[in-house]
Amino acid sequence: MSSDAHSSTEYIKHHLQNLTYGKLPSGYLRTDGELLSQDTWTLAHSAQEAKDMGFWAINVDTMGVSFLVGALFLFFFHRAAKTAVTGVPSGLQNFVEWIVEFIDTSVRGSFSGRNAMVAPLALTIFIWIFLMNLMDLVPIDWLPGVAGALGLPFLKVVPTTDPNATFGMSLSVFFLVLYYSVKMKGVGGFVGELTLQPFGKFGLPANLFLEGVNLLAKPVSLALRLFGNMYAGEMIFILIALLFAQGAVLALTGGVLQWVWAVFHILVITLQAFIFMTLTIVYLDMAHQEHH
């Protein structure tokens, strides 16, 4: 492998690695040659160390950026609500009212039941995922460069390129679907829905298999669709960034490609947030429907 190919590979791996915090066991030989004399909670210095930390490790960058953009969402929407006027609205109030009206229209079009929680949930999902996706438009080396200057080995700034984040959100929606399915239909109605449809009581094994797969596919499809699209988008930005180190002509080409992909990616990040929100509304609507 040539040195250029090696450096390119390392560059890609570095930008796709999360900043992970977890416990390494006593006697562990770290990447930098340090031998731990006792169990140690620390930041991983390599992908292998992050893997060896096991289930209880946490991706600090995913959690940090998620909470940061979530706090910004709450701050600006709370500010718009506190400063709302009946006369000529401010630009922030106009924007928030437009978003709320858009979400309300989406919920009314997809949700046939009565549940005051669905619209606020849809609003939160759409804005929060959009803001996490929006981090993909920050130049690829800016924040990791700052992190490196602060002594942090990695920093992955797009939470939705981490399957832990997308599965966490999808499982939250899944538990809500289960809760409302049981609440609206009762335990017997929910079990009957899984075992008696679509072939009736004589097709119970086939019914349970088909309905079980259909039920479990909901969180998997939500998580993987969002993760896959955002991960692919981030990878393209990384590959374009590699062109800037390959001479003036390729650097110019990279600049044009980066601008074109960023403009197109605005549509991608918005669409992915909208799809996650819409599917959540649809799944909750199905949970509220009673089958006879």
pLDDT per residue, tens digit, the chain (292 aa), is: 344 555 888 999 999 999 999 999 999 999 889 999 999 999 999 999 999 999 999 999 999 999 999 999 999 999 999 998 887 788 899 999 999 999 999 999 999 988 999 999 999 999 999 999 999 999 999 999 999 999 999 999 999 999 999 999 999 999 999 999 999 989 988 888 888 877 777 788 888 888 889 999 999 999 999 999 999 999 999 999 999 888 888 889 988 999 999 999 999 999 999 999 999 999 999 998 875 4
Residue type at position 15: H
SS3 259: helix
Which amino acids are annotated catalytic?
A: 221, 225, 229
Q: What is the pTM assigned to this prediction?
A: 0.92
C-alpha atoms less than 13 angstroms from C-alpha of 274 in its C-beta half-sphere? 12
**Tokens 């797009």 correspond to what residue?**
158
Determine whether 24 is exposed, middle or buried from the number of CB atoms within 10 Å of its CB (0-12, 13-18, 19+): buried
How many CB atoms within 10 Å of residue 273?
22
Measure Cα distances from 174 to 31, 50, 99, 265, 283 in Å. 39, 28, 25, 28, 9
Determine whether 126 is exposed, middle or buried from the number of CB atoms within 10 Å of its CB (0-12, 13-18, 19+): buried
